[in-house]
Amino acid sequence: MNAASQPAQDPWAELRQTTQARIGLGRAGNSLPSRRVLEFKAAHSAARDAVHEPLDVADLTQQISDLGSESALHVSSRAGSRGEYLRRPDLGRQPADLAHLPDTGADVGIVLADGLSPRALIDHGRGLLAALIDELGPRFSIAPPVIATQARVALGDHIGEALGAQTVIVIIGERPGLSVADSLGIYLTHLPRPGRSDADRNCISNIHPPDGLDYSTAAAITAALVVGARTLGRSGVALKDTSRAQLTEGGTGVVDHPVVTADTVE
């Protein structure tokens, strides 16, 4: 075969190895190649399924039953169905009933919330919770984990206050995209209570190994934020995670002891 008859090398092939974004899709006449159209439809279906599939609370409870923590508790929001949850975000921020939650006075409360991707919680909830317990357990008292359904992030403020936890960590399924449908986020709020705003929280997102942030790194960053929040007396915009800077300065690719600093601006 001479050079003129050999298939042209795909100039996008190497770049595709570095991103999950859809780049260099090609063309077939005036349209996309059938393969790319089918890939898009499959990803869109996976994202829709991730949003609408209800969380199997019994399955998740069983998954985390051997982690050495107390038995998981269950809380639901005031959204009575998945459809109402999607139409009424405000109801997802309000608890239906918290009377059964104990006032533990714990240093840390952990909430596992279905959010907009219950699938993410099933895929990664146990692994991330185990990493958090390993990281936080030796230093802080941890309340029994709480599984929250039809939940938005702010539901954790009510749960954290009911538990008497000084800091609440909400593990929640993130909004699915066309590249990732099972990503988790962590939202940390110090001194949780109803009425806290997003400015009072710190977020760690894109947790979905092997392609996203791994459990141990997410847990190490979270632990550093807990220490920083307790030192500063608050979380949110005043609390800064500087652990990623260590990656570029040290060049090791490993964060052994993340450092958190606070803004001096009031």
- How far apart (Å, rounded) are the C-alpha atoms in residues 219 and 256? 11
Q: Which helix (H) or strand (E) holds 221?
A: helix 215-232
Binding residues: 153, 174, 203
- How far apart (Å, rounded) are the C-alpha atoms in residues 26 and 123? 33
Q: What is the number of helices (H) and of strands (E) in the chain?
A: 9, 8
Q: What is the dihedral of CA 111, 48, 13, 5, to 10 degrees?
A: 160
Binding residues for adenosylcob(III)alamin: 153, 174, 203
- Residues of 112-133 as b/e, b for ≥16 C-beta within 10 angstroms? bbbbbbbbbbbbbbbbbbbbbb
**What is the DSSP-derived secondary structure letter of residue 198?**
G
**What is the DSSP-derived secondary structure letter of residue 143?**
P
Cross-strand partners of 151? none
Task: Measure CA of the first residue to CA of the last residue in the chain; give whole Å.
Answer: 71
**What is the DSSP-derived secondary structure letter of residue 202?**
E
C-beta separation of 256 from 232 below 8 A:
no
